[in-house]
Amino acid sequence: MKVEIHNVFKNMRYKFFQTEDGIYYIVEIKPSFWKTLFPFLYWFFPFPVYKVEDEKTIEGIQTPESWSFDKSSAVLATGGVAVFIATIFRGKIEMFKTELPLYIKIIFLIVMIFCVFLIRLFVNKVKFHDLYKHVNLKQLERFEIKVKPQSFKHIGQMFASYIFFLFFSVMSYIMFFLDGNVFVLIGGAAMLIMFSLVVNITVKEGLTKIEFIK
What would the DSSP string read from start to end of 52-69?
Answer: E--HHHHHHHBPPTT---
Average pLDDT, the chain: 82
pTM: 0.79
Residue-level pLDDT at 55:
84
Over residues 154-166, mean pLDDT: 90
The amino acid at residue 155 is I
pLDDT (tens digit, 9 = 90+) per residue, 59-105?
Answer: 888 877 655 554 444 444 554 555 555 555 545 555 556 677 788 88
How many CA atoms lie within 13 Å of 209's alpha carbon, on the beta-carbon side?
Answer: 6
- Of all residues in the chain, what percent carry a pLDDT higher than 90? 23
From first CA to last CA, the distance across the chain in angstroms is: 14
Q: pLDDT grade, residue 172 (50/70/90)?
A: confident
- Per-residue pLDDT for 14 more than 90? yes
In the chain, what are the helix, strand and coil shares in percent, each to the nearest 5?
55, 20, 25
Residue-level pLDDT at 75:
45
43: number of Cβ within 10 Å: 16
Q: pLDDT grade, residue 51 (50/70/90)?
A: very high
Min mean pLDDT across 3-7, 20-24, 67-71, 85-89 is at: 67-71
The amino acid at residue 27 is V
Contact 187, 174 (CB under 8 A): no
Over residues 32-37, mean pLDDT: 84
Nearest CA-CA partner of 51 in 147, 149, 145: 145
Phi/psi at 13 (5° precision): -75, -20
pLDDT (tens digit, 9 = 90+) per residue, 173-202?
Answer: 888 888 777 888 888 888 888 888 888 888
Question: Angle of helix 102-132 relative to helix 152-179, nearest 10 degrees?
Answer: 140
- Per-residue pLDDT for 25 more than 90? yes
Q: Which domain holds residue 206?
A: 2-63+70-212
Residue-level pLDDT at 28:
92
Number of structural domains, the chain?
Answer: 1
